[in-house]
Each structure stands twice: as C-alpha cells, then as structure tokens.
Structure 1
Amino acid sequence: MIEAKGLTKRYGDKKAVDDLTFTVRPGLVTGFLGPNGAGKSTTMRMILGLDAPTSGSVTVNGRPYVKAVAPMREVGALIDAKAIHGGRSAYNHLLALAQTNNLPRRRVGEVLELTGLAQVAKKRSGGFSLGMGQRLGIAAALLGDPQVLMFDEPVNGLDPDGIRWIREFMRTLAGEGRTVFVSSHLMSEMEHTADHLIVIGRGRLQADCTVKEFIDRNSEQSVSVRTPDPQSLHRLLTTSGARVEAQPDGAMTVRGLPPARIGDLAFDAGIRVHELAPHQASLEEAFMEMTRDQVEYRANAGGPSGGPSGGQPPHPGGGHPSEPAPPTGGRRRGRSRDTDHDELIGA
C-alpha cells in the first residue's frame, strides 16, 4: 500500500506537487493520470525517496521507502527505462542488480523469460529498441518479486502484442493482491486496465475514484438517433428540453434525454425511429473534459512559430514549468548517487 498525506514539492515559488493526499490499495490496478507537467513524475520520485518532499509525507507499507531493509523485495519501479548501462547485456544488467540486492541468480533468468527477453539476454542493451528497453526495465522492476509495483509509461514503445501482454500482466499482479500503480497518457489502455484512478492537475488532486465514476462525473451521455422525419423529431425533442445536433451522415446526436424517453416521445408523436443508440463517453473524452483548464501550455495549431500558445517562452532546461529542472552548475540532488539508486529500484 502507498499512502500520501499532504505531499507537497516546491521549487522556488512554484509548486510541482500541492498538498496531495491519496491511498494506492493492494489488489487493484491504480491509474495515475494528469496532463504533462501535472506533477506525476515528481510524485513518483518522492514515493521512491529520489526527491524529498517540501512538506507532507508518503509511505510504502507503512514507512518511508528509504528505510526499507530490502528495497527491491518491497517495491519494483520502472521510472526511466533508459537508465541502464548501454554496454551491459540484459543478463549482466539484471545480474548486477540481483547481486547487489542479495537476490538469487535464478531470478534473472525467470524475469528475462517472463518479459520475453530470454533470446536477447546476452546482447548489449545499448542496441535495444525502445520497446525492448521497456521490457528490460519491467524485468528489473520484477526482479525482487515485490508486493508493490510502480510503472511510469510502461507501454511506451511496445508493439500491440507487448501492450496486450503488459495490460494482462498488470491485472494478474493485482489479482495476486499486489499494489500496482501505473502512470500513463494512453487513456484507452487505462480504460481497459485500471480499476481505480488518481487524477492530478497542476499538482493538485482532481479525482480519486473508479474508472466508471470518473467517466460518469465528467461526461454526459449522448444518444444517436436516425429517423425518416428528422425535422419533426428535432422539433419534438428540443421542445422537450433536449439538445439536438444534426450529423453529416443524417443521424442526430441528442443530449439531455435518456434513450427510453426519446423513444417514448417519438412513439407518442407517431414518428418512426430507425436507430436509437446510446453513447457513453470514453475515458479519454472524460479526461480531456476534466483537465481542459489544467493544461498550462498548449500547442498553437497552425501558428507560425510552432511554440507554446500566447508566445510564452519554453521552460529553461527543456522541462515543463510545473516540474522545474534542478539548478544547473551543481549536482542534481540525489542523482550521482541516484544513478546507482535508480538501478537498485529498477528505474
């Protein structure tokens, strides 16, 4: 279980994470959603002790992760799949992690087989494709057979077969009673994978609910209607309080009335209906509706410069303003030592 209480991270006068309180429970796949720069990566780094919170706290199984006696046996994390030595083979990369964490050598072969990398185990990871690198990162996260798993964009670079594999695998892990916390921008995957959602925007909690609850709260059901007498039905439905929009293919999209009420009104008025099809918004549509005011920088489609809308300059250092880069000219906090620490958690 992961528990955050009042978790806050400030960079100067900017809050990347602002008073977050949530619980990630075992037995569920919990999706962690938010626009770019919402504070997701910063939150995950604080969970793992790679960044220190300005205030508040976050614990894994009741204590800060940095106090874990056997880190890889407690938490497996994929934060940055590229954080590996490109000159090492997949096998040697995992073996180094296993030996420095007192894990049995046999476990290396098991996770390579599990992630589909057994045939390329002796190849240098520097030549891996993006998808193969993701699989290696997932293998590292699984190495200690932990009860808590954290994945940041786990399907990035995977082909359709790989995406389906990781989707089913995460659900299997949750079914075993493990805590599975996954951040992703692929709403279609989250809709098929997640049981619960934690959504943040501009560092603040926006939603903590099931996928169905999130969609129901942030979208409105519409009904596609076809009739040989569209003018009469249009007039009837608008008079009854519905919002009706004609579609190019001849159908009408009706909002504000349930399908049964539309059918009853048409029947009573003697208007034939050829189609009456309800449509519930997807997770992506609901997410876009909820977070439309949470996106700080938007692309100016069709603009001459191709930069952020409103002519705002890019953030120094190439990052997003919600998650500022550490000051240049000095050691990034925790990073030199982090190179080893990241590997130990399978980042």
Structure 2
Amino acid sequence: MIELDALTKRYGGTTAVDGLTCTVRPGRVTGFLGPNGAGKSTTLRMVLGLHAPSSGTVTVAGRVFGSLPRGLRHVGALLDAADVHGGLSAVGHLWALARGNRIPRSRVGEVLDEVGLSSVGKRRIGGFSLGMKQRLGIATALLGDPPVLLFDEPFNGLDPEGVLWVRGLFGRLAAEGRTVFVSSHLMSEMENTAEHLVVIGRGRLIADESLTAFSARSAGRRVVVRTPEAARLAGVLAAAGAVVTPSGEETLTVTGMGLERVGELAFEYSVPLRELSGHGASLEAAFMELTAASVEYLAGDRR
C-alpha cells in the first residue's frame, strides 16, 4: 500500500505537487493520470525517496521508502527505461542490482525469461530498442519480487504483442495481491488496464475513484432507447429537459438525463420499450473534460 498525506513539493516559487492525499491499495491496478506538468513524475520520485517532500508524507507499507533495507525487495519501479548504462549487458545490469539488494543470482535469469529477454541477456543494453529497454525496466522492477510496483509510461515503445503482454502482467501482479501503480498518457491503454484511477492536475487531486465512476462523470454519457413510439417519447424527454437525437426509425440517443429517469418517463407515459441502455463516455473523453482547467501547456497558447 502507498499512502500520500498532504504531500507537497515546491521548487522555488513553483508548486509541483500541492497537498496530495490518496491511498494506492493492493489487489488492483491503479492508473495515475494527469496532463503534462501535473506533477505525476515528481510524485513517483517522492514515493521512492528520490525527491524529498517540502511538506506532507508518503509511505510504503507504513514506512518511508528510504528507511526500508534492500529497497528492491519492497518496491520495484520503472521510471525511465533509457536511464541505464549502455555498456552493460542485461545480465550485468540486473546482477549488479541483485547483489546490492541480496537477491539470489538465479532471480536474474527468472525475470529475463519472464519479460522475454533471455536470448539477448548477454548483449549490451546500448544496442537495445526502446521496447527492449522497456522490458528490461520491467524486469528490474520485478527483480526483488516486491509487493509494491510503480511504472511510469510502461507502454512506450512496445509493439502490440508487448502491450498485450504488459496488460496481462499487471493484471496478474494485482491478482497476486500486489500494489500496482501505473502512470501513462495513453488513455486507451489505461482504459484496458486500470481498475481504479488517481487523477491530478496542477499538482492537486482531481479524482480518486474507479475507472467506471470517473468515466461516468463526463457529460459524454448517453442513453440509447429503442421504441415503436420514438417520436412521442422524444417529445416527452425533450419537455423534461433531455437532449434527444433520433438514430433511426425507432431509436433515440438521449443526453443530459440518466437511464433511470428515462425509464421512469417512458413508464409514466405508457411508452413501450424494446431497448434501454446506458453508455458511458470513453476514458479519454472524460479525462479531457474533467482536466481541461488543469492543463498547463496548450497548443497555440501564446502566453
């Protein structure tokens, strides 16, 4: 478990993280979202003790990360896949970390096999593609078999097979009861990977809730109704304040009104229904809508 309590980080007159309070729980994949400059990377670095908070606290399993002996046994992290010594082999890189954390040498071969790099383990990392470096970074995070895992942009550079593999890996790790915290700007991947979201903007918490609940907050929600009396129902719903768009002879798309209220009005006016279904907005649509006021950098902004 990762617990942030009023976590704040200032750089001179700039506040990168502002009173952030949330709990990242085990047993599920938690997505960490926010516009560029929102403070996501700074937050992850404070979790790992790489940056000291200006105020507030962040703990892992109730303790500050820096106080945990042999840190890779407690927390595994991928922050920057390119931040490795290109002259080392994958085996050499992992063995150096394993030795410093008293992890058995056999574990190096196990994680290389798990991420699909066994055949290139003795090659220099400098010759790796970005996707291979991502896999090596994931192997590094898994090396100590830790209960808490942090991943910053883990999908970058991966081919479709690699993306599917990472989705499955994160799901399996969460199912084992681990805490899995994943930061990414790829909304489609978060929609297919995360169960819970922590969303920040300008360093402040915007949402800490399930993926479903977050998407449902968007104005992009809609209700689809199919009825042989579409014209009459459209009039009823419009009079009650809904925005109704015909989508065929018998089908209406309704926005601005919830599914239950649409059903109640259809019942009240004795309109027979053949379909009544709710459709949430995509994660991307909800994210863009709910973080619009927190975007730091806008295309075409001439400030």
Q: TM-score, normalised by structure 1?
A: 0.79
User: 1:294 aligned to 2:294?
Assistant: yes
Q: Deviations over 1:242-292 (max 9, x none)?
A: 112467999753212535357558864x9xx88765322122222222111
Does the aligned pair in 2 maintain the 1:263–1:276 contact within 8 Å? no
Q: Partner residue of 1:46?
A: 46
Q: Partner residue of 2:62?
A: 62
Does the aligned pair in 2 maintain the 1:149–1:181 contact within 8 Å? yes
Does the aligned pair in 1 maintain the 2:218–2:290 contact within 8 Å? yes
Q: What is the CA–CA distance in structure 1 between the aligned matches of 2:269 and 2:128, rounded to whole Å?
A: 60
Q: 2:263 aligns with which of 260, 263, 282?
A: 260
SS at match of 2:294: coil
Q: Deviations over 1:302-339 (max 9, x none)?
A: xxxxxxx1x13xxxxxxxxxxxxxxxxxxxxxxxxxxx
Identity of aligned residues (%): 58
SS at match of 1:293: helix
Q: Partner residue of 1:17?
A: 17
The aligned amino acid for 2:170 is M
The 5 Å alignment of 1:151-300 reads 151-219=151-219, 221-224=221-224, 234-245=234-245, 252-255=252-255, 256=257, 258=259, 260-261=263-264, 264=267, 268=271, 278-300=278-300
Q: TM-score, normalised by structure 2?
A: 0.89
The aligned amino acid for 2:263 is A
Q: What is the CA–CA distance in structure 1 between the aligned matches of 2:187 and 2:178, rounded to whole Å?
A: 22
Shift of 1:55: 0.8
Q: What is the CA–CA distance in structure 2 between the aligned matches of 1:102 and 1:248, rounded to whole Å?
A: 66
SS at match of 2:278: strand
Q: What is the CA–CA distance in structure 1 between the aligned matches of 2:78 and 2:130, rounded to whole Å?
A: 14
User: 1:142 aligned to 2:145?
Assistant: no
Q: What is the CA–CA distance in structure 2 between the aligned matches of 1:32 and 1:240, rounded to whole Å?
A: 38
SS at match of 1:6: strand
How much is the aligned-residue C-alpha RMSD, in angstroms? Answer: 2.5
Q: What is the CA–CA distance in structure 2 between the aligned matches of 1:192 and 1:49, rounded to whole Å?
A: 30
Distance 1:250 1:83, change over 3 A: farther
Shift of 1:161: 1.4
Shift of 1:122: 1.7
User: 1:29 aligned to 2:32?
Assistant: no
Distance 1:264 1:147, change over 3 A: same
Shift of 1:156: 1.2
Does the aligned pair in 1 maintain the 2:229–2:250 contact within 8 Å? no
Shift of 1:158: 1.1
Q: Partner residue of 1:83?
A: 83
SS at match of 2:155: coil
User: 1:118 aligned to 2:121?
Assistant: no
The aligned amino acid for 1:159 is D
Distance 1:130 1:242, change over 3 A: same
Does the aligned pair in 2 maintain the 1:242–1:257 contact within 8 Å? no
Shift of 1:240: 3.3
Does the aligned pair in 2 maintain the 1:87–1:126 contact within 8 Å? yes
Q: What is the CA–CA distance in structure 1 between the aligned matches of 2:36 and 2:249, rounded to whole Å?
A: 36
Q: What is the CA–CA distance in structure 2 between the aligned matches of 1:250 and 1:131, rounded to whole Å?
A: 49
Does the aligned pair in 2 maintain the 1:91–1:121 contact within 8 Å? yes
Does the aligned pair in 1 maintain the 2:77–2:149 contact within 8 Å? yes
Q: What is the CA–CA distance in structure 2 between the aligned matches of 1:137 and 1:30, rounded to whole Å?
A: 19
Shift of 1:182: 1.0
Shift of 1:53: 0.8
Does the aligned pair in 2 maintain the 1:8–1:15 contact within 8 Å? yes
SS at match of 1:172: helix
The aligned amino acid for 1:177 is G
Q: What is the CA–CA distance in structure 2 between the aligned matches of 1:288 and 1:78, rounded to whole Å?
A: 26
Structure 2 unaligned blocks of 5 or more = none
Does the aligned pair in 2 maintain the 1:82–1:133 contact within 8 Å? yes
Q: Partner residue of 1:129?
A: 129
Q: Partner residue of 2:104?
A: 104
Q: What is the CA–CA distance in structure 2 between the aligned matches of 1:185 and 1:285, rounded to whole Å?
A: 13
Shift of 1:236: 4.2
